[in-house]
Amino acid sequence: MLRELYATPPPDFVATRNDLVKGLRREKRRDDATAVAALRRPGWDDWALNAVAASDPDVVAGFAAAAAEVREAQSAAIEGRDGPDIRGALKDLRERSAELVRLADAALGGVGRQPLAGEINTRLSQVATNDVAVEQLLVGILGSGDTAPRDLFGGLEPADRPAARATKGAAAKRTAKAKADATATGAAERGPTAADAARDAAAERAARAEQARRKEALAAANREHRAAVAARQRAEAEVAKAAAAVDKARAALATAEEALASAEQERDDAQAAEGAASAAADEARAALET
């Protein structure tokens, strides 16, 4: 359903989408109808790429694999681990993109539209960095955005290559394809374009910036760890100091308790001596009086 919708030329997209929504509502599929009603009309660049997904799925699959290789190479470079060679991966992606652009321009020519090589190349640069967009291109619904119904989208598979037809229209398309091949070959012989070089440079700058950000985050974490270790060491020193003070206080208390016991004993002895002396005095006075 979605593939057929996104195979519709952009001028007819809204009417086709509205008819589809009405059919879904008649079938009581209200959630699907609401989701389909929110789908955006694709631009001619997305339409042309969806057309290639239907006619040449192997080319789109090659582009998807090359884009995944570039993303893996960039991730490996950022994380500082072994991975694919980023320059080689970017070169392969450029070549796959050029083939896809050529076929997309041929699809536009087949419906009387002017080539959009620049716009399509820019669009492919965006798609290559987005897993969802690559997946949507593989099944021919590029441009559906995040609002595509997941249950409808999830069941789609890449289209099979249609059988060639020996018709006048097919012959005309083959002629156009041959001319485009010649143009693409000339472009390939001239080497990477300024846009290719700029894209490669931007990718490398992004990778370097991300690696620098990760290094700074690691350095900040190390600084915080060192500060935490120093704080722990200071706290342990304070604990040791307090423990020593407690030990000293306990020793002083023991000494004071001994002194108190000795003083109490001396007091008791003095009181006993005083009592004995008082009794002796009483006896001496009694003897004197008799």
Question: Which pLDDT belongs to residue 189?
Answer: 45
Q: What is the rounded CA–CA span in Å between residue 79 and residue 287?
A: 114
Residue 28: left (phi > 0), alpha (psi -120 to 50), or beta?
left
| Cβ 98 vs Cβ 66: under 8 Å | no
The residue assigned the tokens 């037809």 is 165
For 192, the token pair is: 């990477």
**Cβ distance 160 to 63 under 8 Å?**
no
Across the chain, which has 290 residues, the per-10-residue mean pLDDT values are 87 92 91 87 92 94 93 84 86 92 93 89 90 90 68 49 38 46 48 66 74 70 72 79 85 88 88 86 81
Question: Nearest CA to 43 among 119, 128, 152?
Answer: 119
Asked whether 57 and 157 are in contact (CB, 8 A), the reply is no
d(CA 126, CA 122): 7
- For residues 141 and 155, the answer to whether their CB atoms sit within 8 Å is no
- The rounded distance, in Å, linking the Cα atoms of 112 and 126 is 26
> Cα separation of 205 and 224, whole Å?
28
What angle (nearest 5°) sits at the alpha carbon of residue 261, between those of residues 256 and 266?
Answer: 125
CA distances from 220 to 58, 204, 206, 213 (A): 47, 24, 21, 11
pLDDT at residue 156 in the model: 52
The pLDDT score that the predictor gives to residue 280 is: 84
Q: Are 134 and 127 in contact (CB under 8 A)?
A: yes
Cα separation, 109 vs 173, in Å, equals 9
- Spatial contact of 96 and 62, defined as CB atoms under 8 Å apart: yes
Helix/strand/coil (H/E/C) assignment for every residue in 17-74: HHHHHHHHHHCCCHHHHHHHHCCCCCCHHHHHHHHHHHHCHHHHHHHHHHHHHHHHHH
